[in-house]
Amino acid sequence: MATSSRIANISSNLFKSSQYGIGSVSCRASSWWSQVEMGPPDAILGVTEAYKKDTNSNKINLGVGAYRDDNGKPFVLPSVLKAEERLSAKKLDKEYAPIGGSAEFCKLSIDLALGDDNEISKNGLNATLQGISGTGSLRIGAAFLAKFFPGNKVVYLPTPSWGNHTPIFKHSGLDVKQYRYYDPKTCGFDFQGALQDIAKIPEKSIILFHACAHNPTGVDPKPEQWAEISKVVKQKKLFPYFDMAYQGFASGDVARDAIAVRHFVKDGHEICLTQSYAKNMGLYGERAGAFSLITGSKDDAQRTMSQLKIIVRPMYSNPPIHGARIVTEILTDPALKSQWLVDVKGMADRIISMRTQLRDNLKKEGSQTGLVLTLTKLACYCFTGMKSATG
């Protein structure tokens, strides 16, 4: 005991000694990071940071990309609350998900996008894996295309597009260019301009489409316009990449919001598709999403899936499980799925109603700005065209 006590005392004194404490450092080496410049705040999330710092009691955060209730508070869908209650009662483990995520979640996701009993899923013509919401799923696809796409390593984005699209693709090693999309004169879709630009894109290039609720304009092509776009894309041998972050959240109808994706697949296109459950299930922080590659054969699907897993392994290894379990619980239970469809339609309808009220009130006040027109668009986006100095 005496020996062990002495050892303990010696160890204690050693750790207490200033010789081993951080405070004993008299001269630090020169900084490795002195050349690093301060980066600008994120153009989207930076608005929320500015909102939090603002002391004005009448402030309103128009930058947050999340649904809010009448009191401006976060809203958890009733169907999600019920799903979480059931999951809690099951006392599930917290083991790692496979690299590709939950197979059941992946099957449910592609079927939600393409419709029940779709030929793609039934015939194994898709490589689908669970991603980290929309951003992570986009990054998986971008990394895959940068390595394996046999054509031009260039992706064409609509003008404007979600602010994160460009860095996602550029950081993955792809060049980024644009095609016309929004017409500020009409505050609508520049259909002819888009067709003209798409027709000029070099063959075997990548083109990105917002499946519904275009971010940031809220302006979507009509079904017949999507059909024309599909024809031009096929003629030019372009590869379509669909970002579908708002299925159900745009119109309140999950099938209607998937029209573009389903038409392109039916038209014979092989596509990339990313899905997110952040908006339509309110699972913002759960990071539930999926990436799919629609292929021409089952063999293609299996080989591309093997490479997608190789990309994921050093990126984040395994996707989070809780959000995927919530989605699975909702989509596998008929009653719970029906409740969710009511929930998502309720959110979409309320947004449409609020946009209408704001538009009407602006008209009453005599507003002649394009803002009045933009308020007729879809989902939670309103592209005002205002410059920062306007505010």
Positions marked active-site:
162, 243, 279
C-alpha–C-alpha distance, residues 341 and 77, integer Å? 11
User: Which CA distances in Å does 346 have to 340, 352, 355?
Assistant: 10, 10, 14
In angstroms, what CA-CA distances link 271 with 42, 166, 240, 262, 343? 30, 19, 5, 11, 29
Backbone φ and ψ for 81, nearest 5 degrees, come out as -60, -45
Residue pair 380/316 in contact (Cβ under 8 Å)? The answer is no
Strand partners, 272: 241, 293
Query: How many whole angstroms from its chain centre is CA 62?
Result: 19
User: Pairing state of beta strands 288-294 and 126-132?
Assistant: antiparallel
Residues 6 or more apart whose CB falls under 8 angstroms from that of 214 comprise: 158, 181, 182, 220, 378, 381
Residue 84: both structure tokens together? 């979480």
Q: Which secondary structure element, helix H or strand E, spans residue 109, and what is its range?
A: helix 103-114
| R_g of the chain computed on alpha carbons | 25
